[in-house]
């Protein structure tokens, strides 16, 4: 009996570790069905051998992090995919990815670092359109992009408050998708301009609806997540609800899904404004409300947006993209 028990435990080590990680990350789940989903997702991740795809379980070597969400969406970490297999698969599809980013007022200083690192590390070998919105087109530096990458500089007005710049991005993205981006790209991602990339970010990020788990989620308990809690706001998430907290610095998906997301979020922003309300974290609060009820089909781990204000834990083996250290008061005002 003891021998059989030892064999069972050895074969299911990954399962028990994943169960423990899920319990820590999503403790106090408000709905009874969550536990069933957690167990089901872990069983599938542990038992479904021989399935090929972007996150083939035969390639998974990580047992220290959560690899699948309660709704069975993969969570992308270093060591959970084979980029060569993915590149071979996606090159056959010949897709185009768009990246929308905003450099308004003093944020123009971050353009060179962003484009330079993105040219080197973002979807290398694949077609990418960078859509750069700025109120100072004349200050955009000349950067020699790879042949498969193109830069479109789009003039945009600035606003007196940085919060308004942030919250109007959703509307601008939605309008440009409707007018012409839907004819130009297959997938679209929104990224902050004040970031730099340090390792390759490839086709492992491609899916229908993609959210990036905030690096702050790994430094605070779940109940400390910065959801908007005031019930008057359209971004409000009731106490006891929520799963992951997503960073607005990097999100995306198919053009059609990003259109739905940005349109819905800006509608919430508009309704809040009409009622004299401003969500705690502006567009990010509305993004989290949307992704709570429209679950991402793929989640990117904090490797894909690490906040430099935090000490990097051991589980973050690779820092692919991170914020640039800066004086927020100086650049915003």
Q: Residues marked as binding?
A: 102-104, 107, 192-194, 284, 307
Inter-residue contact 143 to 134 (CB < 8 Å): no
H/E element, 99: strand 96-103
> Going by C-beta distance under 8 Å and a sequence separation of 6 or more, which residues neighbour residue 307?
214, 215, 216, 322, 323
Under a CB-based contact definition with an 8 Å cutoff, are residues 97 and 126 in contact?
yes
In contact, 273 and 63? CB cutoff 8 Å: no
Which residue's structure tokens are 């834990």?
A: 313
330 catalytic per annotation: no
- Which residues sit in the known binding site for UDP-N-acetyl-alpha-D-galactosamine? 102-104, 107, 192-194
DSSP single-letter state for residue 181: I
Residue among 105, 299, 303 at smallest CA distance from 197? 303
For the chain, the C-alpha Rg in angstroms (whole number) is: 20
State the catalytic residue, choosing from 148, 284, 303, 308: 284
Tokens, residue 16: 């028990």
Binding residues for Mn(2+): 192, 194
CB atoms within 10 A of CB 91: 12
Pick left, alpha or beta for residue 28 (phi over 0 → left; psi -120 to 50 → alpha; otherwise beta): left
Residues carrying an active site annotation: 284
């Amino acid at each position: 009996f003891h021998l059989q028990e030892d064999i069972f435990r050895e074969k299911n080590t990954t399962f028990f570790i994943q169960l423990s990680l899920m319990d820590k990350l999503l403790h106090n789940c408000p709905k009874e069905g969550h536990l069933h989903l957690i167990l089901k997702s872990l069983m599938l991740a542990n038992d479904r051998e021989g399935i090929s795809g972007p996150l083939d379980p035969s390639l998974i070597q990580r047992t220290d992090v959560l690899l699948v969400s309660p709704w069975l969406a993969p969570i992308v970490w270093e060591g959970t995919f084979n980029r060569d297999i993915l590149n071979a698969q996606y090159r056959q599809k010949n897709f185009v990815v768009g990246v929308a980013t905003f450099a308004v007022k003093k944020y123009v200083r971050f353009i060179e670092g962003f484009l330079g690192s993105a040219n080197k590390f973002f979807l290398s070998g694949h077609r990418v359109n960078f859509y750069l919105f700025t109120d100072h087109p004349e200050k955009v530096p000349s950067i020699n992009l790879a042949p498969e990458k193109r830069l479109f500089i789009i003039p945009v007005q600035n606003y007196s408050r940085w919060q308004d710049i942030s919250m109007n991005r959703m509307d601008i993205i939605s309008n440009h998708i409707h007018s012409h981006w839907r004819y130009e790209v297959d997938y679209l991602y929104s990224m902050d301009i004040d970031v730099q990339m340090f390792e390759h970010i490839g086709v492992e990020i491609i899916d229908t609806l993609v959210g990036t788990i905030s690096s702050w989620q790994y430094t605070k308990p779940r109940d400390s997540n910065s959801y908007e809690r005031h019930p008057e706001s359209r971004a409000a998430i009731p106490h006891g609800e929520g799963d992951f907290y997503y960073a607005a610095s990097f999100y995306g998906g198919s053009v059609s899904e990003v259109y739905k997301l940005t349109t819905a979020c800006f509608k919430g922003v508009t309704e809040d404004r009409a009622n004299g309300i401003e969500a705690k974290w502006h567009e990010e609060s509305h993004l989290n409300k949307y992704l709570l009820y429209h679950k991402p089909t793929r989640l990117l781990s904090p490797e894909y947006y690490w906040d430099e204000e935090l000490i990097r834990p051991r589980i973050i083996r690779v820092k692919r993209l991170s914020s640039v250290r800066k004086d927020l008061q100086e650049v915003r005002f």
